[in-house]
Structure formats: structure tokens, C-alpha cells
Chains A and B, each alone.
Chain A
């Protein structure tokens, strides 16, 4: 089974801190994604990557950046955390060219910015 692992389940950070959310997948998937989930808004795409060192903006990239130095790892960076970035963050991966089976998600990181 594909496994997508997010390094932290819960995080509490202070406003202005630099925050790193790490995601690792073990099935050699080309595609990796970062979403955030908020009540009433569903899952919104922040950034995605189709290959190492490659990244593209999703629908809500402001305040975030990403890094993909290795195929299996995709990091989300909050340069200066703000309270409106309090959310559930979900990482996902998928095979290149296999849309029918969608993505495999990690368990999520609940980030609280105080």
C-alpha cells in the first residue's frame, strides 16, 4: 500500500515563526500536493509538484512556499506564520498520468498559530 507520512499530527506555533511541514511518500510517485482543509471551504490546493525541484502554485499559494529536493519528500514552508494559517494541512501523492484512482493522502497536520 502507498503510504504518505506527515511528520507531525499537531503543531502549535507563534505568529511570525517560520514553520516547516514535512511529507514523505514511499511509492515512487511523481506527483505531490499540499492542501489545506477548512470548514465550509473543503480542500484547497496550495502548491503541487510533478518532479524533483519542480513546483507550481495552486489556488491559495500566498504566504507559503515549497521545496522538493528528493522525489519522496515534499515540504511546505510558512515563511512567517499568521493566525489565518491555522488549519488542517494535508499532503497527497499520485502516480503520473493516473487520474482515475486519485490521490493518496497523509493523515494531516493540525497547525495552530497563536
Chain B
């Protein structure tokens, strides 16, 4: 039972344009949603998060949007840069001390110069 799904395995965009990565979830009990970025041969690094009580969180070029009614979130990167090329994982967690991060399958983003 995949509680967090990233249905697009890959995405290719031109440098300077917007990248939109999508994520769907099934568990309405999730309290927080996070995006991680992973380069080859490195561990994932935290990028941005959003609480379930908000619908938008922005940090520089990165914005995450949450649509609770649709159980959908998206990560917008504007403008996209070649250094953004990586695998992006969506993750979700319930609050409380024993919450565990549940990850999606990942989307490989390629930003072309």
C-alpha cells in the first residue's frame, strides 16, 4: 500500500523555466510533508517542508503547495538551474515522537542548460 506516490519517474525542463514536481498521498492523518533532494552517491538532503494546516510555503526559488482536499502537493522550482538536476523525494509524516517518514518513489529532474 503506497501511501505517498510520485507518478512521474522523470521530468526534463529548460534552464530558467519552472519545474513542477507532483506528489499524491492517501493517508489523511499526515501532519507534515517534506521534500528531499538526492544527488547520486549522496544521501538525501532536506529541501523544504509544509505543515498540513498551511497551503503554501516558500523558500527562495522553492515553493511547496498543499491541496488537502485533493491529497496532493507539488514542489515548484523557479527559475530552474542545472544544479537542480537530482532525484526529488516527497515524504510525509504524522506528528508525535514516534512518527516515521514515508517516502514516495522519487522523480528524477533534469535541467538542461
Contact A106 B43 (CB under 8 A): yes
Contacts of A104 in B (CB 8 A): 46
The total of chain B residues at the interface (CB under 8 A) is: 30
B100→A45 contact, CB < 8 A: yes
Cα distance A90–B9 in the bound complex, in angstroms: 20
Interface 9-mer from B13-21, B29-37, B72-80: B29-37
Q: Which residues of B contact A101 (CB under 8 A)?
A: 46, 49
Asked if B51 and A42 sit within 8 Å, CB to CB, the answer is no
**In the complex, per-residue mask of B89-113: 1 if CB is within 8 Å of any chain A CB, else 0:** 1010111111111111110000000
Given contacts A40-B9, A42-B104, contact A99 B95 (CB under 8 A): yes
Given contacts A40-B105, A43-B89, contact A102 B42 (CB under 8 A): no
User: Is residue B70 contacting chain A, with contact meaning CB distance below 8 A?
Assistant: no
A102's partner among B34, B94, B98, B106 (CB-CB below 8 A) is: B34
The complex places the Cα of A67 from the Cα of B61 at a distance, in Å, of 41
Instruction: Please tell me if B27 contacts chain A, counting CB pairs below 8 Å.
Output: no
Give the distance in Å from the alpha carbon of A49 to the alpha carbon of B32 in the complex: 21
Interface contact A97-B43, CB-CB below 8 Å: no
Which residues in window 26-65 of A have CB below 8 A to B? 33, 35, 40-45, 48, 50, 58
Residue numbers in B under 8 Å from A102 (CB-CB):
34, 36, 46, 49, 91, 93, 101
- Interface residues of chain B, those whose CB is within 8 Å of chain A, are 6, 9, 31-32, 34, 36, 41-46, 49, 51, 89, 91, 93-106
- A sample of 19 inter-chain contacts (CB < 8 A) reads A4-B43, A9-B41, A40-B105, A42-B105, A42-B106, A43-B44, A43-B89, A43-B106, A58-B100, A90-B44, A92-B101, A97-B96, A102-B49, A103-B101, A104-B46, A105-B45, A107-B43, A108-B41, A110-B41
